Amino acid sequence: MAHYDLIISNGTVATADQVRQCDIAVKDGLIAALGTDLGSADRTIDATGKIVVPGGIDSHVHISQPSGDGIVMADDFESGTLSAVCGGTTTILPFALQQKGQSLRDVVKAYHALADGKCHADVSFHLIVSDPTPQVLGQDLPALVADGYTSFKVFMTYEGLKLNDREILETMDVARETGALVMVHCENEDAIRFLIDRHVARGDVEPRHHASTRPAIAEREATHRAISLAEIIETPVVIVHVSNRQAMDEIARARSRGRPVVGETCPQYLVLTADDLDKTNWEGAKFVCSPPPRDTDSQIACWEGIEGGVFDLFSSDHCPFRYDDEAGKLNARGRTDFRWIPNGIPGVETRLPILFSEGVSKGRISLERFVALGSTNHAKTYGLYPQKGQIAEGSDADLVIWDPELERPISQERLHHGADYTPYEGLMIKGWPVEVILRGTQVVAGGEPTGAAPGGRHLARGKSALVTEQERRA
Ligand code: URP
Ligand code: ZN
Ligand code: ZN
Ligand code: ZN
């Protein structure tokens, strides 16, 4: 009879393609067997009445990025990844952000110095390209892709980060040549700058004007343009953090023409609206992110995209700031004008509970779809499948046991991130992750960290399934 390190017994095991009753045996950090009467183990976890899923993958996370103005992100890699695992996410894909003038290879080294040995989840970096010099395009990116950094993010907005269309085309061209995948932040910077100037001239500077200066049209136009640029290069593209129906329609139209376009949305577009930015005493600053949360019709649209397939990815866009100190989100300048409030909200720990509760518990999506949106599709899109995102023999034993009946509201007190608030305070959640296992090691028990030493590893990634498919067709 076989002997294992761990057996999870009697659970309802859900993957992106099936739900079944079976036991899972783990040996040396990998899934070793699935079935019944598997043998003995050093430890058994009884998952009766619970749901066992592959560890969540959050492919859109910002940690330890510089924000200018002396403002410091609220999470380092230790707290950010602890927060991730407590929310059922065992792999995160944060960004290594190139600032103008920086060597991309030095940037990657610097992020490794911040992350290595400190992570409670597995980690793999996307590269933010803000300065596509001949050195970056000709040498750094090809070398980094060969080393397993197989995705780049480019911005169509933000001073200092924004690329023009020519630069986006050149970066996409390198992606195509090297087999990497490009993610695009789609908002029209010139339109936003124009609207900001008009607002400021009128004295409209409160947090809610962050939303009115970044309208859905500016997102729609940029989404259309990003998809068009990718079509010129004939390369797949991921449209990140989509907030509204107009941008979704651009993605749906491109897909109906056979274009390999992936859509991502986030919890803030399902459960927040621009009204949240209107809270008094600058409390609205706690909800400032880009694109901004919009209205209830946009929430309905995003649910349609989640149910109907426009969205393959559900990510947090975790971008945490504190609110209560000078190094935080509302430093002295931030309290005078929305332009100085850093963009971003925390959410790496609440992402999957919100999707489970609002999606599965409320009957909007199946368990299979929950797994696809929260884990498997991220692994396939970013070159980690089937090592991650799957429960099968040989896959990493990243396993999360959910209690579908556990009901309690989201509260800052119980979260593990470095931010001093959650924009989802009070949202009632039915279904929480209770046991979390990273490559065979239990990192969360009974919903709380086990105190295990940081065992997260850096993951070199292969090609995106989209890129492989595009190359096969070419
Ligand atoms: O407001 C946001 N989303 N901040 C994070 C940076 C980005 O654009 O993803
Ligand atoms: Zn972005
Ligand atoms: Zn982001
Ligand atoms: Zn705790």
Domain limits of the chain?
55-369
Q: What is the 3-state secondary structure (H, E, C) of 138-179?
A: HHHHHHHHHCCCCEEEEECCCCCCECCHHHHHHHHHHHHHHC
> What residues have their beta carbon closer than 5 A to ion ligand 4?
448
Chain segment 287-330, per-residue pLDDT in tens:
999 999 999 999 999 999 999 999 999 999 999 999 887 766 77
Which is the closest atom of ligand 1 to the Cα of 153?
9
Identify the helix (H) or strand (E) that includes residue 255: helix 245-256
ipTM: 0.95
Does residue 122 have a pLDDT over 90?
yes
Query: Which has the closest alpha carbon to 94: 50, 149, 39, 44?
Result: 149
Q: For atom 5 of ligand 1, which residue has the closest CA?
A: 344
Ligand nearest to the CA of 73: 1
Q: Tell me the two tokens of residue 113.
A: 């110095």
Contact between residue 210 and residue 192 where contact means Cβ atoms under 8 Å apart: no
Give me the CATH code for the 55-369 domain, please: 3.20.20.140
Q: Compare 278 and 69 and report the one with higher pLDDT.
A: 278
Chain segment 134-177, per-residue pLDDT in tens:
999 999 999 999 999 999 999 999 999 999 999 999 999 999 99
Q: For atom 9 of ligand 1, which residue has the closest CA?
A: 317
Q: Tell me the two tokens of residue 259.
A: 């274009």
Chain segment 9-39, per-residue pLDDT in tens:
999 999 999 999 999 999 999 999 999 999 9
Which is the closest atom of ligand 1 to the Cα of 158?
8
Contact between residue 90 and residue 121 where contact means Cβ atoms under 8 Å apart: yes
Q: Say how many C-beta atoms besides its own lie within 10 A of residue 91's C-beta.
A: 31
Identify the helix (H) or strand (E) that includes residue 91: strand 89-97
State residue 113's pLDDT score: 98
433 lines ligand 1 (CB under 6 A): no
CA distance 87 to 163: 34
Contact between residue 76 and residue 39 where contact means Cβ atoms under 8 Å apart: no
50 lines ligand 1 (CB under 6 A): no
Mean pLDDT value of segment 440-451:
98
Q: For atom 7 of ligand 1, which residue has the closest CA?
A: 290
pTM above 0.90, yes or no: yes
Q: How far is the CA of 127 from the centre of ligand 3 (A)?
A: 12
State residue 324's pLDDT score: 83
Does residue 51 have a pLDDT over 70?
yes
267 lines ligand 1 (CB under 6 A): no
CA distance 82 to 348: 10
State residue 323's pLDDT score: 87
Size of the chain, expressed as the number of residues it contains: 474
Q: How far is the CA of 374 from the centre of ligand 2 (A)?
A: 19
CA distance 98 to 410: 34
Ligand 1 pocket mutation pick from 186, 319, 338, 339 by most atoms within 8 angstroms of CB: 319
